[in-house]
C-alpha cells in the first residue's frame, strides 16, 4: 500500500519566490497534518484538516503561509513570498482518527531558501 506521498522531496529557491508543497494522504484517512521541523524548534504543527476542513491553523507562522485541501486525496502548503527562515523540512502526515495516535508521515520536503 502507498504511504503518504509528498513532493517535491527537495527544493532550493531564492528569497521572495513562491513555494508550493504537495501531499497525498493515505486513502481512507480523514485527518491530514502539516508539520515543520528544524533543529532549533523541533517538530511544529502548522495546520491540520479533518474531512478536508481546516480545524486548527494556529501554528501557521504568518500570512505568507497558506494551506488548502480541495479533496480527500490532496493538500498543498504554499509559502509566498518565501524567506530564508522558512528553510526546514516540511512533513505531511495523515491518520484515520480515533485515539490510537498513529500518524503516518510522508518522507518530507526539504526546503532551502537562499
Partner 1 sequence: RKEVEQDPGPFNVPEGATVAFNCTYSNSASQSFFWYRQDCRKEPKLLMSVYSSGNEDGRFTAQLNRASQYISLLIRDSKLSDSATYLCVVNLQGNLIFGKGTKLSVKP
Q: Which residues contact partner 1 (rule: CB under 8 A)? A: 33, 35, 41-43, 45, 48, 55-56, 91, 99-103, 105-108
Measured from the CB atom, the residue of 81 and 87 that comes closer to partner 1 is: 87
39 Cα distance to chain centroid: 17
70: phi then psi, degrees, rounded to nearest 5: -70, -25
Measured from the CB atom, the residue of 81 and 110 that comes closer to partner 1 is: 110
Q: In the complex, what is the shortest distance from the CB of residue 80 to partner 1, in angstroms, rounded to a whole number? A: 25
Cα separation, 91 vs 94, in Å, equals 10
Amino acid at each position: 500500500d502507498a504511504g503518504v506521498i509528498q513532493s517535491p522531496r527537495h527544493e532550493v529557491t531564492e528569497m521572495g519566490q513562491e513555494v508550493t508543497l504537495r501531499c497525498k494522504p493515505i486513502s481512507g484517512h480523514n485527518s491530514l497534518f502539516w508539520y515543520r521541523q528544524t533543529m532549533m524548534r523541533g517538530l511544529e504543527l502548522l495546520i491540520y484538516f479533518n474531512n478536508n476542513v481546516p480545524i486548527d491553523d494556529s501554528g501557521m507562522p504568518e500570512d505568507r503561509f497558506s494551506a488548502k485541501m480541495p479533496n480527500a486525496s490532496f493538500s498543498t502548503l504554499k509559502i509566498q513570498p518565501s524567506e530564508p527562515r522558512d528553510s526546514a523540512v516540511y512533513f505531511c502526515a495523515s491518520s484515520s482518527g480515533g485515539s490510537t495516535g498513529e500518524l503516518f508521515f510522508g518522507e518530507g520536503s526539504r526546503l532551502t531558501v537562499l
